[in-house]
Structure 1
Amino acid sequence: MDKLSAMTEQVRDFCDARDWRKYHTPKELAIGMATEASELLQLFRFMSDERIAEMFDNPDQRQAIEDEVADTLLFLLRFADLNGIDLPKALSSKLKRNGERYPVDTSSSEYRKADHHE
């Protein structure tokens, strides 16, 4: 079993043991992803790049960051599992489309969103 499948199974077992499936609608799981990602973002609000680097060196602050990343991942894995989304396939497909939108020869060293009106 690969790591992604193992993590998905671990989340499934955790949630199923608590009979949470009835609460895990696509809407509620999407809200959970957004909420947890916002909590991660909140940790960095008004912080300089130097201060953020210090946060990763502080064990308690690093743990808080890792907890929010894990919470976000939990909701993503659960969303994909309950809605039949093959995450590796979805990622591969999205990277292919992004590669077409952002060709290496015109996108290297450029950090901007593609113009959708071309």
Structure 2
Amino acid sequence: MNLEELTARLHAIRDRNDWKRFHAPKNLAMAASVEMAELVEIFQWLTEDESRQLPADKLAHAGQEVGDIVLYLLLLCAELGLDMDQVVRAKLADSERRFANG
């Protein structure tokens, strides 16, 4: 996944639609949260086994919501000047250190 390319494509959509004025970090964080709630809603009231074996339509819907979340997080990183690859790798390395003997 080329994050720079994805971010550039997102910015092109944003710029074509004059959405930059809405892309303050707080708005992007809230939008990502809303999309996360939509993902959670897919799993609401399912058993653990049911959540692992979604029917094709619900699985596709879950994928759409995951995509929405990732795209909003890419936009948020761009607005904050964060390198998503770098922050994710740093967090993973931190988790590996913290939970190495788990």
TM-score normalised by the chain length of structure 2 = 0.88
Partner of 1:85: 82
Shift of 1:91: 1.4
Partner of 1:96: 93
The CA RMSD over aligned residues, in Å, is 1.5
Give the % identical residues.
Answer: 25
Count the aligned residue pairs.
102
Where structure 2 has 5 or more consecutive residues not aligned to the other structure, the ranges are none
Partner of 1:31: 30
Work out which of the two has the higher radius of gyration on C-alpha atoms and give 1 or 2: 1
Partner of 2:50: 51
Partner of 1:19: 18
Partner of 1:116: none
Higher RCO by CA contacts (8 Å cutoff, separation 6 or greater)? 2
Report the AA paired with residue 42 of structure 1.
E
TM-score normalised by the chain length of structure 1 = 0.77
Report the AA paired with residue 18 of structure 1.
N
Partner of 1:69: 66
Where structure 1 has 5 or more consecutive residues not aligned to the other structure, the ranges are 108-118
